């Protein structure tokens, strides 16, 4: 026997957003994806990225600027929500007496770092080597340390003089900076940190890598 309809309209319990309307979860996922992509492209830790800004401004704190700006300035910039606010913030930042004096040198070094230290899609001016170059200029000497283990990549070593002039951040450079290739990036490292080849080696299986044969035959 069929049930009789009461004539009252029925309503689906499933929520269907209007076309073009994003749910809060979708917005959150989009923001997370943007932060990760921007951090990868800018050679940065995610906390240096402002995900509410466009690509031109999101990574402004990445690299030397993050060292030159004060903690209060960094915190204030990360709270901005519009590109127009960011543009005004940056202009006011450079108009300060202490910053205005170094702006030309910063921009010249940054442009040079963009050409010399670009790593594929990663900006040279915001790379690890680019950051040190922008802050302290050309090192006195660049050397290469051969691997301490056959699994270790060579290490690029920058040396600055003992009495080097203070950099754009107001600090003297360290005497030595070490850089090593990690995957498709060149990363600065200190002894024992996560980018140190010795640390990387301890995380790998205790076996030697397989050396591919030369093209056309075996070695």
- Higher-pLDDT residue of 4, 110: 110
Residue 211 has pLDDT above 60, yes or no: no
**Quick one: pLDDT at residue 113?**
97
| pLDDT single digits (tens) 170-186 | 999 999 999 988 888 89
Q: Where are the domains of the chain?
A: 97-203
> Cα(20)–Cα(99) distance, rounded to whole angstroms?
44
| Residue 168 three-state SS | coil
The two three-digit tokens of residue 93, written as one number = 């930042």
Spatial separation of the C-alpha atoms in residues 169 and 134, rounded to whole Å: 10
Better-scored residue on pLDDT, 89 or 146: 89
* CB contact at 8 A, 43 and 127: yes
Task: Supply the pTM of this predicted model.
Answer: 0.69
At 60-89, the pLDDT tens digits run 999 999 999 999 999 999 999 999 999 999
Mean pLDDT of the chain: 77
Who's near 8: CB < 8 A, 6+ residues apart? none
């Amino acid at each position: 026997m069929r049930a009789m309809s009461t004539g009252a309209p029925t309503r689906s319990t499933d929520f269907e957003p209007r076309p073009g309307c994003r749910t809060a979860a979708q917005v959150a996922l989009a923001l997370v994806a943007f932060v990760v992509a921007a951090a990868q492209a800018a050679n940065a830790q995610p906390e240096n990225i402002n995900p509410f800004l466009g690509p031109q401004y999101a990574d402004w704190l990445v690299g030397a600027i993050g060292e030159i700006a004060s903690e209060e300035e960094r915190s204030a910039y990360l709270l901005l929500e519009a590109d127009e606010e960011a543009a005004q913030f940056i202009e006011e930042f450079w108009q300060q007496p202490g910053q205005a004096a170094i702006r030309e040198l910063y921009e010249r070094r940054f442009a040079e770092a963009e050409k010399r230290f670009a790593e594929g899609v990663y900006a040279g001016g915001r790379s690890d080597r680019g950051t040190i170059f922008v802050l302290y200029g050309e090192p006195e000497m660049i050397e290469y340390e051969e691997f301490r283990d056959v699994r270790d990549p060579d290490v690029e070593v920058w040396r600055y003089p003992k009495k080097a002039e203070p950099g754009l951040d107001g600090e003297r450079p360290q005497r030595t900076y070490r850089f090593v290739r990690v995957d498709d990036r060149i990363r600065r490292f200190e002894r024992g940190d996560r980018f140190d080849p010795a640390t990387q080696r301890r995380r790998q299986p205790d076996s030697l890598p397989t050396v591919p044969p030369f093209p056309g035959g075996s070695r």
